[in-house]
Amino acid sequence: MTMQKRGFLTGSLGAILLGASLMSGAFAQAPATAGFAEKIAAAKTRADHEQLAAEFDKQADADKASVERHRKMAQAYTTAPWAKASGAGMVKHCKALIADYEKAGKQNAEMAKMHRDIGAKLP
């Protein structure tokens, strides 16, 4: 195989993996359920706020799973023989997503706590 073909294949595989990674990240950040904004606007009871908190907890868990997935991917990019040429960019991409998902997970956990605190003051 020529170096040009090998480079093309490596780049193509990288683009496919990057695209799949970005798609999975985009879906992980989607609202927890349909009508979530309406549920927030309509929340009046302790149970309503507990339900919202549970949705934010669920999203925080999904964010943590995304962090772990990208940590494993970053490790794979550092060890894959084909990744020597372009792996550094992929590792950088994974590290950026790790930071984003860690931040999102923390914020979603904080939102869950706030809803529980609001709910504790309601009947």
pLDDT at 18 (0 to 100): 45
pTM of the model: 0.70
Burial, 70: exposed, middle or buried (Cβ in 10 Å; 0-12, 13-18, 19+)?
A: buried
Q: Report the number of distinct structural domains present in the chain.
A: 1
Whether residue 107 is predicted with pLDDT greater than 80 in this model: the reply is yes
pLDDT at 1 (0 to 100): 52
Q: Residue 4: what residue type?
A: Q
Condensed to tens digits (0 to 9), the pLDDT of residues 61-93 reads 999 999 999 999 999 988 888 877 776 788 999
The rounded distance, in Å, linking the Cα atoms of 85 and 10 is: 9
Phi-psi region of 35 (alpha: psi -120 to 50; beta: other; left: phi over 0): left
For the ranges 5-9, 88-92, 114-118, the lowest mean pLDDT is seen at 5-9
Domain of residue 26: give its range. Answer: 3-120
